[in-house]
Amino acid sequence: MKKIVLIILINCFLFLFCKGQKVDTMIYILPEVAPTFKYDTCTNLVSSVKEYFMDNYKMPKILIDNGYAGRVFVEFVIEKDGYLSNVKLCRGIDEALDKTVIETIKTMPQWIPGINNEKNVRTKLILPISIHWLYGRIEDE
């Protein structure tokens, strides 16, 4: 009987303690202010991402002569602190190429998060990466 009363008291305490805490797990697609990425001296999202990839993308040697062209679409969430999470491929071209694009996305520095009601919010973004300008360094140089 004492064990049952103790379990009920613990559950009541946990319920009351946790009731006032809210965890905001909402992910926005179109917040009031869109997230952005600033890299080097670039002034907009497209040029910043392009410049970042040109500086940091490493093309696998095996793919250099294949002449891939097109777009890789990568989806991710920009967290409230600006870091990226849930990075995944939406549409790719080649498994090895897609893998290196995702690895490069995962190494990106902090973004400026989206804002809704004057608060930083989690924002989902799908980023098209054009392979035409992915001529970064060759891997293992």
Where along the chain do its domains lie? 23-138
What pTM was estimated for this model as a whole? 0.73
Q: Which two tokens stand for residue 113?
A: 């998060």
SS3 label, residue 88? strand
What fold, for 23-138? 3.30.1150
Residue 54's pLDDT is: 83
Give the mean pLDDT per block of 10 residues along the chain (141 residues): 57 53 78 92 87 83 69 94 95 87 93 94 92 53 49
* Dihedral sign computed on CA atoms, order 108, 54, 90, 128: positive
Contacts of 90 by beta carbon, 8 Å cutoff, 6+ apart: 73, 74, 75, 126
Q: Are 55 and 136 in contact (CB under 8 A)?
A: yes
Q: Which residues of 74-113 are buried (b: 16+ CB within 10 A; e: fewer)?
A: bebbbbeebebeeeeeeebbbeebbebbbebbeebeebeb
Report how far residue 11's alpha carbon sits from residue 81's, in angstroms, rounded to the nearest whole number: 33
**127 half-sphere exposure, CB direction, 13 A CA radius:** 30
